Amino acid sequence: MGCQKNVAKQIIEAEGDYLLALKGNQSNLSKQVEAVFEQANETGYEGYDVDYYETKEPSRDRYEVRRHWTLSVTDTPINTQPWKELNIIGMVESQRTIKDEPSIDYRYYIGFQGIFYKLGKRCSGFGRRCHCD
């Protein structure tokens, strides 16, 4: 985890944005982020600064829907102190059907979005090119 903190710091110092996947070695932070999304989902995201983006990928034997949510960490209990400029958390829900077998997977992220975020134009599609106005 210390390595990712250093990477985040270096990216910020180079005036970049970052998005880091939460994995098992960040269990406390991961639990915090998951809890925030559970609570936000229960309230229908009311009272949260949220962005949402959805993609659908059909193919012959596979159909996948990815739902992306980002939340501002403002007014959440997330401990941002150890992370340089952390201002967003994210969740991706991947719902797949492969040969009529459905599955759902959730992934969580932390990050910093600079200029677009400061302008109120946060991008919620992780891993896609930003097309903010």
Reference 64, options 37, 104, 123; nearest CA is 104
- The neighbouring-strand residues paired with 112 are 18
pLDDT band, very low/low/confident/very high, at 123 (cuts 50, 70, 90): low
Total domains present in the chain: 1
Tokens of 45: 């995201």
Confirm whether 131 is domain-assigned.
Answer: no
Confirm whether 130 is domain-assigned.
Answer: no
Confirm whether 125 is domain-assigned.
Answer: no
Tokens of 43: 């309230």
Confirm whether 123 is domain-assigned.
Answer: no
pLDDT on residue 1 = 47
pLDDT 10s digits, 27-69: 788 999 999 999 999 999 999 989 899 999 998 889 999 999 9
Reference 70, options 85, 92, 55; nearest CA is 92
Confirm whether 95 is domain-assigned.
Answer: yes
Q: Which domain holds residue 114?
A: 2-118
Q: Which of 88-92, 104-108, 113-117, 124-128 has the lowest mean pLDDT?
A: 124-128
pLDDT 10s digits, 60-97: 889 999 999 999 998 789 888 888 788 899 999 999 99
